[in-house]
Structure 1
């Protein structure tokens, strides 16, 4: 199950990610709670913070994919990860000194979003350079395990820490945790990387990447489905703070528990994906099943009458969403030419993350006007509809011979 960890460089990377991502999830939980405290519990303010954090994705992610194909990915990641850590230090300092205001949080959300927009496609396309194509699916699944282990530990620690010492120290801890991933990148043996040939400096590289995707109907279906679910279905985490506080009347530790329960499911889903990576099968079929089950379970969670029924439903929902995202990621990366991988993953991350501003604002508005449950309920129904639509389109394309069956 852990075959990709045989690669020395990937071991350094994964070790640093465990620490850094734990800090990231601590900051996300503390940031949501701080926004609610500063805004008097406003869901719209929280939605605006989410939108500002993901808005730079629209402008920067595609160009980050071009940079990933042209320049040294490892060096880019050292810069972006260092900058993300500095954002944590800045917000923590403002909070601990007692001068933090809501507009400070908004500005730092935007700055953090700028560096995250560059970091994401570079980091995604760097995985195959560390492990090679044969171990990519396993590495993607293990990355998901790391991500979701941090999602379990981080909010749980944050929930206790916010109550005990305040949000500011949580932000400072996240800034310190970034040292681990930067150290892992610096310790890598660059001679062991499976680097693709750089794309060069000719003009029109971004347009060439878009033309490449336009000629691949299978990729288009995956990317459109990722946009729909990423925008409308996967905005539930920012809604959890409102649900915990305003619906079930729990404090920060109750909010942290909801994220932890979801993460138990996503960690389980990532573990299953790592085990499946050695077995043949259709990634597209698995992706569609995961998307449909996720949508149905999210809609169900939206009508759960009690805190613990809502929390327990998040576990199978997490398994389903991880099945979807892991399958979609490996499908795209393994289906493209190595020289196009950065640009295609830039488009992938743009559609996945670029809808977050729209989804964040829509979730905040729905929660403000109709109640905190509505973003979860409607997000699940829209995700289910997108999965069914994607399955129908793929079926028609196969009948026309536009898509070859996967092994």
Structure 2
């Protein structure tokens, strides 16, 4: 029987001789532009999560609505479902720096609007819904362009390191966001906390005025492609449908998005109440911190040791581990065990995420890279809308803890089935790429 890891590694194409070179550890930190880029991306992701922390807390305590909690997930990720591929086409056609700056500006304006509504006490449910949708649109616009520009910042053979470090720094934003968000919430209050949050979007926006990388420099220029539309989305499906590894990565990303997605973060405010009213705020911050800690620690360990290679098999097995740890988190009544489960889930999730993204980056055709990465955003982020439906439906019937439990079970089963199918396919045809 062939070694799946070896076959998987051999299937990753080398587009030039540089791909055969041994990449340096922490390669993205060895170049000025890429180091600034991944660091400022982490700050923007931190601002994104600060906004979540403050708004989710205010919305729950203002409306106490599981339906609105579910809508928080749906509205955030639905733009990814419908707009990721068209936005990926924009990343192929235009300067990625300007696309990212447009997304950062939209993030900033949404924070400004939240701050104003909190300050005046005029917040209504429909206003919250509009701002949640706009925030989701900003994230969908940011995603493909951010990944395409990352490809431009480093040499081909160092791309896996750059993908891992970029994901790690974004995870650091997820980690720092709850702590900074809680500090802003307690120290400045919701309104002024939101105004302060606007500052964290500025470093990346300003930096992009001073870098020469556009997302297309190494490939010789912008792709002259037609305008994007629904047919374009179907077209990119057909274009990558024959690549087994790309399909497997899309499937495993979609499972994680559909069955867990953003359910954890929006359910934590309610689940933290089970540890006692006096400890609810503390538990809320600790659980959110633990959710990001595993991803950051795991990302740096993966980069430093390189024991786990970024292959399709890594993504598949790590996704199963992610589902199991979330299952433990949903079942336990102990805060200590819940924290440990979330830390381990973060390690598993960062391993799966970076492995899948690396495979997609390396295997995507140059002329369709933006759309393939947009397709990744569509299934890996857009299908989180489904987790919002689970949270809203099952949360209303059985509570948010029950919704998380159901999500974890479905994810684990789905990932196990996908891995079994991949193993059987590898055994039947180990040389197929």
Aligned to 2:122, what secondary structure does the other structure show?
coil
**Residue matched to 2:16:** none
Distance 1:270 1:379, change over 3 A: same
Distance 1:137 1:196, change over 3 A: farther
**Residue matched to 2:5:** none
Q: CA deviation at 1:245?
A: 2.9
- Pair 1:231 & 2:258 matched: yes
Say which is worse superposed, 12-21 or 386-395, in terms of deviation: 12-21
**Residue matched to 1:155:** 178
Within 1, Cα distance between the matches of 2:120 and 2:48? 21
Q: 1:146 aligns with which of 156, 166, 169?
A: 169
2:178/2:285 contact within 8 Å kept = yes
2:54/2:185 contact within 8 Å kept = yes
Say which is worse superposed, 1-10 or 177-186, in terms of deviation: 1-10
1:30/1:162 contact within 8 Å kept = yes
**Residue matched to 1:211:** 238
- Pair 1:23 & 2:47 matched: yes
Flag structure 1 segments of 5+ consecutive residues without an equivalent.
none
Aligned to 1:322, what secondary structure does the other structure show?
helix
Q: 1:352 aligns with which of 361, 380, 383?
A: 380
Q: CA deviation at 1:59?
A: 2.0
- Pair 1:312 & 2:340 matched: yes
Within 2, Cα distance between the matches of 1:202 and 1:27? 36
Q: CA deviation at 1:201?
A: 2.9
* Deviation per residue, 1:192-247 (Å, 9 max, x gap): 94345433134765444222111212211211111111121232111111211356
**Residue matched to 1:385:** 413
- Pair 1:268 & 2:291 matched: no
- Pair 1:96 & 2:119 matched: yes
Aligned to 2:259, what secondary structure does the other structure show?
helix
Q: CA deviation at 1:50?
A: 1.9
1:217/1:402 contact within 8 Å kept = no
**Residue matched to 2:97:** 74
Q: 1:175 aligns with which of 174, 195, 198?
A: 198
Within 2, Cα distance between the matches of 1:403 and 1:372? 45
Within 1, Cα distance between the matches of 2:417 and 2:429? 19
- Pair 1:198 & 2:222 matched: yes
Within 1, Cα distance between the matches of 2:389 and 2:431? 36
Aligned to 2:400, what secondary structure does the other structure show?
coil
TM-score of the superposition, structure 2-length normalised?
A: 0.87
Distance 1:161 1:351, change over 3 A: same
2:46/2:177 contact within 8 Å kept = yes
**Residue matched to 1:184:** 207
Aligned to 1:188, what secondary structure does the other structure show?
coil
Within 2, Cα distance between the matches of 1:212 and 1:150? 34
Say which is worse superposed, 169-178 or 84-93, in terms of deviation: 169-178
**Residue matched to 1:259:** 288
Within 2, Cα distance between the matches of 1:110 and 1:141? 28
Aligned to 1:290, what secondary structure does the other structure show?
helix
**Residue matched to 2:19:** none
* Deviation per residue, 1:349-403 (Å, 9 max, x gap): 0001111222112113222211222122222222211221111221233234376
Q: CA deviation at 1:342?
A: 0.7
**Residue matched to 1:291:** 319
Within 1, Cα distance between the matches of 2:352 and 2:190? 33
Q: CA deviation at 1:120?
A: 1.0
Within 2, Cα distance between the matches of 1:314 and 1:190? 37
RMSD, aligned CA:
2.2
Q: CA deviation at 1:327?
A: 0.8
Q: How many residues align?
A: 403
Within 2, Cα distance between the matches of 1:258 and 1:154? 12
Q: CA deviation at 1:248?
A: 4.7
- Pair 1:86 & 2:114 matched: no
Q: 1:128 aligns with which of 142, 151, 165?
A: 151
TM-score of the superposition, structure 1-length normalised?
A: 0.92
**Residue matched to 2:33:** 9
1:247/1:372 contact within 8 Å kept = no
Within 2, Cα distance between the matches of 1:308 and 1:396? 39
